[in-house]
Chains A and B, each alone.
Chain A
């Protein structure tokens, strides 16, 4: 971590340094995440953008300690409020999960327990972390449901997940993530499974929560438009590496340096032109087992708070030819 914190006016809620994650597939180890570093400043939101398979979700799960059995963190540091989450077998992490960091999952229909009332799912962590009784917890669940925009919350608090629409389920999950008042919420493509109109409502909700609660976000998505709307900082991931990142999202948006970022930006649908799509966004980039197993070269500073990974012109050609195909 070099220039990223330079002149830090605010402190960082989350710092990820040189994180490497390895997946074991059919008896062989493959590097899934290759020495990535980024941070989330207090009260800020960082968008982690990339195609599916680029390792964004894996990064979130590594922070939360929810990696599958065959995947492990091999090196690097993940700091929350300056303290290492991985130290002492994750003891510190256990104490901050729910209360300090929480997470909103991609598929609300499978991430909520189908046989448990939503009110209980919103407050079960609160019940564990405080001495509220059942009645108080129920009241709190209703408050939280109001806060995330679920109408007639007192009637719906005893509903089961299957009785709610997808958008409502996602609001329930956000309410549960907010229950213990965390400083940081990790969002794993929280709108991907939803209809376009509902997506916009959920984005609005996140904006509202940001301004009202000053909560920090690490927002994973493949939709760069969402990042433009919601985030201050951006990290672009490709094939398990960060190729370009900046603390000020506008710099990257107006002058993208890395060819992949350029391709990504040009893939945003425009009203006034034919829809352009990057081929790499339709597919998923090289699969884990086909990736280069060489370690990534270090990133270079464009200016303080803005870094890109070195690239070859061959990469650039490949990407542009891919995007002009359609």
Chain B
């Protein structure tokens, strides 16, 4: 297990390095001048030069790159142009709601998807299977902000169960205000999860070990729960892990629809304020988050599947 971990983390190094480089290139080597974008139309040349100096843009690109990496090692991602605060501090404030949203969103996703996957696998090619697959295609075609908007309309405005938006004051209010956004993300996740989960449950149900379980006289319920569900959810971990990109993108959109002060609205306000260091920091954080989840997925898969654990 330790060897597995070391190997897995070693594989991560080039990717992390690539992410850092890509983020740097995104901000520094693209056409357009952040100072121009920041100052708007027809700025004074002196003002541009001052900004370039302040941001270190007058140095050679290689030097900027080394400075950027050096800053990362010392935990310095620069300062926001808009808020008078370091990026690291801002991210530490904005990350918790996003993490919470992603976790609750995936929980809802699993809660919806797993029973549907098992049900459609058992009733393969029957009416319910076709119906679920049609509904999945419909949900897949809905932009996630629209699902969120409908959620607000029906569950916050019509039936006033949930708040329309915002994040509340207390921890309990935080949690409560995340329910509708998480439901939205969870619903969006359902088609992505059901398709792969259903396939893995079908494989499991068609397997020899399920035939053996049936030959022992186990009831359907035991076969479905102890065999199809157990084996299906182990592959479900990796199926969910693959979707972390969707989760992150979904929370970016949903935070802005519901006005939740997380990484997504942080990035979006950064864009509206033309706050380059914020955009850079937020993009980098999102990518690191994805890579971290990939790692966690592999590790938890190894923990759950005895074959991987003992290797």
Q: Do chains A and B touch in the complex (CB under 8 A)?
A: yes
Q: Is the CB of B212 within 8 A of A111?
A: yes
Contact A112 B209 (CB under 8 A): yes
Given contacts A115-B305, A124-B222, A160-B306, contact A97 B217 (CB under 8 A): yes
Interface string of B219-250 (1 = CB under 8 A from A): 10010001100110010000000000000000
- Give residues of chain A (97-121) contacting chain B, Cβ–Cβ below 8 Å: 97-99, 102-103, 105, 107, 110-116
Q: Which residues of A contact B227 (CB under 8 A)?
A: 113, 116
Chain B residues with Cβ below 8 Å from A103 are: 212, 215
Contact B211 A111 (CB under 8 A): yes
Task: Report the interface size for chain B: residues with CB under 8 A from the other chain.
Answer: 23
A151 close to chain B: CB less than 8 A: no
Contact flag A105-B217 (CB < 8 Å), given A115-B305, A128-B222, A162-B306: no
* Chain A 105-144 interface residues, beta-carbon cutoff 8 Å to B: 105, 107, 110-116, 124-125, 128-129
Q: Which residues of B contact A113 (CB under 8 A)?
A: 209, 213, 227, 230-231
Write the nearest CB–CB distance from A315 to chain B, whole angstroms.
Answer: 35
Mark contacts of B287-309 with chain A using CB atoms, 8 A cut-off: 1 yes-contact digit, 0 otherwise. Answer: 00000000000000000111100
Residue of A114, A115, A180 touching B217 (CB-CB under 8 A): A180
Nearest chain-B residue to A65 (Cβ)? B214
For A127, give the chain B residue with the smallest CB separation.
Answer: B222
| Count of chain A residues with a beta carbon within 8 Å of a chain B beta carbon | 32
Name A122's closest neighbour in chain B (CB-CB): B216
Let me know if A116 and B208 touch, CB within 8 A.
no
B173 at the interface (CB under 8 A from A): no
Given contacts A115-B234, A124-B226, contact A176 B209 (CB under 8 A): no
For residues 186 through 229 of chain B, which have their beta carbon under 8 Å from a beta carbon of chain A?
Answer: 207-209, 211-219, 222, 226-227
Residues of B within 8 A of A125 (CB): 216-218
CA distance in complex: A180, B215 (Å):
12
A66 in contact (CB, < 8 A):
yes
Q: B310 on the interface (CB 8 Å rule)? A: yes
Given A160-B310, A162-B306, A177-B216, 12 additional A-B pairs, CB 8 A: A61-B211, A64-B214, A102-B215, A105-B208, A112-B209, A114-B307, A115-B234, A116-B230, A124-B213, A124-B226, A176-B212, A176-B216
Chain A to chain B contacts (Cβ below 8 Å), 9 pairs: A97-B217, A98-B215, A110-B209, A114-B209, A114-B231, A115-B231, A115-B305, A125-B218, A177-B216
Q: Which 7 pairs between the two chains have the least Cβ-Cβ distance?
A: A98-B217, A97-B217, A125-B216, A160-B306, A103-B215, A111-B208, A113-B209
